[in-house]
Amino acid sequence: MWLNSQCRPNPSQRCDDCRADFNQDGNIYDDDYQIWYENRYTQGLSPDPELTDRPPEVSAAPLAASNVTLALDPSPYTFGLNETKTYELKATFTNGSPSETVDYFKTEISFSTQYLKMPADNYVYTAQSGFQVIFRVDGPTAASEYGKIVIELDAGWSGNGPSTEGEITIARIDFEAIALTPSAQTLTIENTQVVNDQGEEIPASSQVASYTVVPSVVVTSVWTTDGNGDPKSAFDRGDSIRYYEGFYNSTGSWQTPYLALSGDGPCGSIASWSGNQDLPPGSSLLYVASSIPSDACGGTYTYQLSVTYNSLTSSRSTTFAVNVPPPTTADFDAWPLSGDAPLTVSFHNISSGDYTSCYWEYGDGSTGNSCDAYHDYTYANPGTYTVRLTVTGLGGPDTKTRSDYITVNAYPDLRPYAPSGYPYPVVPSSVQGTHEVNTLYAGQPTYFD
């Protein structure tokens, strides 16, 4: 059987028209043979493919992965009643290759709905699998009703899926234990189909996962609220916060498990508590009251609570945000920066950030608290003055100092004087051109020295 001239010996370059023929007989012939065949036909020679001068066949590239094994990790698993735990569905390839990828994946996971269910707010997580298209992933309703989760994924286009080299984490799946087990139970993986980028199905096997559900004390939920107990997930520095936690004690009597609470974020922990806690049978709620530190970093924090009872530890976590305003930066300029006394200066507040108060020190012993963009201040006495502005707010305090910023000159002595030999008053030359003579002594001649 011959392939058309678009096909290549390298299966990764094979055109779609060749797929069926390639899958059927496992051999392909290269372009040279196709051209040889066409030339014999145009020359009137027999194109019989059984002729002895037929070029040698080019064998298809051997399949890289010889087997794929699916397993749910970890196994065995011990659940406390009403506890939620996460399994990872992993695919491990034998004789895989970095150049071989998976185009299509499908499997089914079966479990007993008498003992397990998928939590209503949890779904199968496949984002890290390397597949681009989700054909089917059963959600909590269908899975818990039929006791089966179908996962069907695709690469999107040939060669775009995950490599068969090593191990692939196909999915993360949460299960909640809803009843005690009399003995170890199993989750089974079946009806698996894995197809590589050559269109070949890779033989698949699976491992059975076991689990038990035992009486215990477990944490069932965690969340954050404001100081009044109203749900809240975003806080400012200084805000009151309550760390709530829900428990389920399936032992039938009061127990004293060990609790450990943490609230970790970008700059470390802002909440930490641990110790033994008495809990009644059945469901119960507790909370730890605290506040967001005034120096907390902004960002996302993870609130996690772990409960350890009878060597079994369960944990739940959630996130909350701490909002921090941008830092406050004090700054200002002014005009004029020099002149004769008395000198009125217009100060321009160009501070940034979330500030609510301003404190000016003008350098002559006077202060002000204007936060306006512009305000005036008059220096009465000559001198050189250092000006300082401090702004304070949620973004923190900040101070801007401009040393020797304002220069105030002594006002010229415009009192007339009569040097020896001059019959009339004389105005000092320092004001020549700046003061009208007749404004001083109207109608009298004035001389400049």
Is the four-CA dihedral 309, 281, 259, 84 of positive or negative sign?
Answer: positive
Last residue of a domain, one of 274, 291, 323: 323
Under 8 Å CB-to-CB from 396, ≥6 apart: which residues? 327, 328, 353
Between 425 and 189, where is the model more confident? 189
Last residue of a domain, one of 179, 199, 214: 214
Instruction: Note whether residue 442 is domain-resident.
Output: yes
Same-domain check for residues 298 and 382:
no
* Tens-place pLDDT, residues 262-279: 999 999 999 999 999 999
Both tokens of 243, joined, read 């760390």
Last residue of a domain, one of 160, 186, 214: 214
Instruction: Note whether residue 337 is domain-resident.
Output: yes
Same-domain check for residues 72 and 198:
yes
Under 8 Å CB-to-CB from 300, ≥6 apart: which residues? 265, 266, 319, 320, 321
Maximum average pLDDT range among 2-6, 116-120, 194-198, 293-297? 194-198
Distance CA 236, CA 330 (A): 22
Distance CA 26, CA 56 (A): 15
AA identity, residue 287: Y
Both tokens of 317, joined, read 């976590």
Instruction: Note whether residue 4 is domain-resident.
Output: no
In three-state secondary structure terms, 183 is: coil
Same-domain check for residues 393 and 286:
no
* Tens-place pLDDT, residues 297-316: 999 999 999 999 988 999 99
Cα–Cα distances (Å) from 410 to 341, 407, 414, in that order, read 6, 10, 12
Within 13 Å of residue 1, how many CA atoms lie on the same side as its CB? 13
- Report the pLDDT value the prediction gives residue 193, as an integer from 0 to 100: 97
Between 178 and 40, where is the model more confident? 178
Structural contact between residues 103 and 194, judged by C-beta atoms closer than 8 angstroms:
no
Instruction: Note whether residue 1 is domain-resident.
Output: no
Instruction: Note whether residue 6 is domain-resident.
Output: no
pLDDT(225) > 60? yes
Same-domain check for residues 206 and 221:
no
Same-domain check for residues 31 and 167:
no
In three-state secondary structure terms, 225 is: strand
Q: Maximum CA pair distance of the chain?
A: 141
For residue 226, give its domain range.
217-323
Cα–Cα distances (Å) from 11 to 31, 49, 59, in that order, read 13, 22, 10
Same-domain check for residues 37 and 84:
no
Distance CA 312, CA 320 (A): 27
Closest CA to 336 of 373, 382, 376: 376
Same-domain check for residues 102 and 188:
yes
Please count the structural domains in the chain: 5
Same-domain check for residues 178 and 246:
no
Phi, psi (deg, nearest 5) at residue 354 = -95, 90
Average pLDDT, the chain: 83
Distance CA 254, CA 166 (A): 48
Structural contact between residues 132 and 158, judged by C-beta atoms closer than 8 angstroms:
no
AA identity, residue 77: Y
Between 76 and 54, where is the model more confident? 76
Instruction: Note whether residue 259 is domain-resident.
Output: yes
AA identity, residue 183: S
Sheet with strand 167-177: strands edge to edge: 116-117, 167-177, 84-94, 67-73, 204-206
Per-residue buried b or exposed e for 247-286, using 16+ beta carbons within 10 Å of the residue's own CB: bbbbbeeebebebebbbebeeeebbeeeeebebeeeebee
pLDDT(107) > 90? yes
* Tens-place pLDDT, residues 134-167: 999 988 888 888 899 999 999 999 999 999 998 9
pTM of the model as a whole: 0.58
- Report the pLDDT value the prediction gives residue 264, as an integer from 0 to 100: 96
Instruction: Note whether residue 426 is domain-resident.
Output: yes
Instruction: Note whether residue 5 is domain-resident.
Output: no
User: Domain containing 307 — which CATH number?
Assistant: 2.60.40.10
Same-domain check for residues 193 and 95:
yes
